[in-house]
Amino acid sequence: MAKPQKIKRHQKINWSGRGRNRRATLPETALVVVLLAVVAGLGWLLYTPVYNFIMGLTLEPSQQPTQSQSAPETPEPLPQESQPEEGSSSQPEENHPPVTVLGEIRGVYMPAAYQQSDLLADRFLDSLQGSDINAVLVDLKDANGVVHYQSSLEQVAANGAQSEQAVDAAWLVKKLKDRGYTPIGRVSAFQDKTAPRSMADSAVKYQGTQTNWIDNSLQNGGKPWLNPYSLDAQNYISDIAYEAAEKGFEIIILDSVQFPTGYSLELATYGDTGGRSRQEVLTQFADRVSERLAGRDCRVLVQVFSGTMLTGDAYGEDPAALIRDRGVIDLSPAMLGAWFQLGEERIENPVQKPYEIVNFLLEHIGPQAGTIAILQDYTASWLAGEPYGRAQVEEQLRALRDNGLNSYILYDPEGTYDLK
């Protein structure tokens, strides 16, 4: 596997003033202390708004610091058993949960709109008849943090995360199984703009303050993220996955098991890390969810986006170690934009070159056998090019087979597939 390219990160700029070196009298000292306290207080109050004005960043109104939020956050430490022992190696232990071997997955994504009634669900499933599709993927918690099934978890209610159109998960699972399809539920982990509004202590912070960091300016749709180092954030995600397993989902895909992407990443802070690397905290989290759901006969997989995996450390220092034998890789050409470059290699208009780009990505990733690929089966209206149809899907599938992979999930946000 080729070594992932690293994103160039900029160090924070620090400065310090120089004072006169002379002895002060007691009254002068007291006066200086008072003046310094006033100046320091004004500096602290003015720094964030002045910085945001210069950088064009606007904090969410609900995330503006208040008097009760003036102290820097000290996140709750992770359980003692997950902390590295003194003097021990910082590398994660190779003690992974037992692996249940999956058969070939040939799946499709089912949009929430088709889950609203028996009639709509049957209409969608009828469209799959006569094909070799054997699995159906649904979103249980999406990248906005919205929970799409009827959850009884108190934290889901407290976060205001429950969708108004939430479906009965047990009903949906039974419907899929009765029609011969493996039910797969996807849970977006740390990419979540909803939970941080109420789980403020579990959010990524702005330069160690109580203000939630966002991945862009508000004008450009900037969003907060959950902090991967936060035990409460981890438990929230794990509880949703476990509840879904109790409803009968046989496979849970954890998406966005990662650190944030976006702008001003150097201003994002994570509190007490316990000395653990990104690699360790993400891998240990995925392992713990896997171990917990193994008791419900539910397999946990980890989804990554190919572009992010190859061009940064959002998934840790070695993304392959995170996904290893449980990987789901999004290879959708449209998600790469108008061009994709890795080192000196550059592919223009990847969406128009389905075989070339999928083969290129897989050659650099070097996935393990059994990896599931997310493939594009829709026309990207924002990119120039011909409509995406069965021919383009077949080109992606050919690239998979040429790289020794056979499992895939076709993705169309509208849920219309040409499977003939």
Q: Give the tens place of pLDDT for each residue, 275-329.
A: 999 999 999 999 999 999 999 999 999 999 999 999 889 999 999 999 999 999 9
In angstroms, the CA 259 to CA 289 distance is 18
Structure tokens at 324: 């290893």
- The residue that leads in pLDDT, 181 or 79, is 181
> For residue 312, what pLDDT is reported?
87
| 371 inside domain | no
Q: Are residues 41 and 151 part of one domain?
A: no
In angstroms, the CA 360 to CA 365 distance is 9
Which of the listed residues 330, 361, 380 is the one where a domain comes to its end? 330
252, 183 in Cβ contact below 8 A? no
> For residue 385, what pLDDT is reported?
66
In angstroms, the CA 280 to CA 277 distance is 5
Q: Are residues 144 and 45 part of one domain?
A: no
Q: Are residues 142 and 35 part of one domain?
A: no
In angstroms, the CA 285 to CA 287 distance is 5
Residue 218 has pLDDT above 50, yes or no: yes
Q: Picking from 100-104, 138-142, 193-197, 246-250, which range would have the lowest pLDDT averaged per residue?
A: 100-104
Q: Are residues 173 and 38 part of one domain?
A: no
DSSP track, 302-364: EEEEHHHHHH-STT-S-HHHHHGGGEEEE--GGGGTTEEEETTEEEE-GGG-HHHHHHHHHHH
Distances (CA, A) of 359 to 196, 276, 356, 374: 38, 34, 5, 14
Q: Are residues 299 and 157 part of one domain?
A: yes
Q: Picking from 13-27, 181-195, 395-409, which range would have the lowest pLDDT averaged per residue?
A: 13-27
Closest by Cα among 120, 117, 252, 122 to 178: 122
Question: Which single residue is written with the structure tokens 């003194």?
Answer: 86
> For residue 101, what pLDDT is reported?
53
Which of the listed residues 312, 330, 348 is the one where a domain comes to its end? 330
Q: What is the CATH number of the domain that holds 259?
A: 3.20.20.70
Domain count, the chain: 2
- Name residue 285's beta-bridge partners: none
Cα dihedral value 78, 80, 85, 91, nearest 10: -40
Q: Give the tens place of pLDDT for each residue, 373-409.
A: 999 999 998 876 678 999 999 999 999 999 999 999 9
In angstroms, the CA 329 to CA 304 distance is 5
> Hey, is 106 helix, strand or coil?
strand
| 83 inside domain | no
**Whole-model pTM?**
0.78
| 367 inside domain | no
> For residue 96, what pLDDT is reported?
52
Q: Give the tens place of pLDDT for each residue, 67-120.
A: 233 333 333 333 433 344 333 334 444 555 544 556 899 999 999 999 999 999
| Other residues' Cβ atoms within 10 Å of the Cβ of residue 36 | 11
Q: Are residues 220 and 161 part of one domain?
A: yes
Query: In the chain, what are the helix, strand and coil shares in percent, each to the nearest 5?
Result: 40, 15, 45
In angstroms, the CA 289 to CA 378 distance is 32
> For residue 384, what pLDDT is reported?
66
Q: Are residues 217 and 299 part of one domain?
A: yes
| 78 inside domain | no
Q: Which domain holds residue 36?
A: 27-56
Q: Are residues 221 and 128 part of one domain?
A: yes
Looking at residues 115-127, what average pLDDT do you find? 97
73, 271 in Cβ contact below 8 A? yes
In angstroms, the CA 206 to CA 266 distance is 9
Q: Are residues 162 and 43 part of one domain?
A: no
| 138 inside domain | yes
| 254 inside domain | yes
Question: Which single residue is written with the structure tokens 């449980």?
Answer: 326
Q: Are residues 259 and 116 part of one domain?
A: yes
Q: Are residues 44 and 154 part of one domain?
A: no
Residue 209 has pLDDT above 80, yes or no: yes
Which of the listed residues 282, 314, 330 is the one where a domain comes to its end? 330
Cβ neighbours for 15, distance < 8 A, ≥ 6 positions apart: none
> For residue 420, what pLDDT is reported?
76
Looking at residues 155-167, what average pLDDT do you find? 98
| Other residues' Cβ atoms within 10 Å of the Cβ of residue 127 | 17
> For residue 369, what pLDDT is reported?
87
| 389 inside domain | no
In angstroms, the CA 119 to CA 227 distance is 40
> For residue 386, what pLDDT is reported?
73
| 159 inside domain | yes
Residue 58 has pLDDT above 60, yes or no: no
Q: Are residues 231 and 307 part of one domain?
A: yes
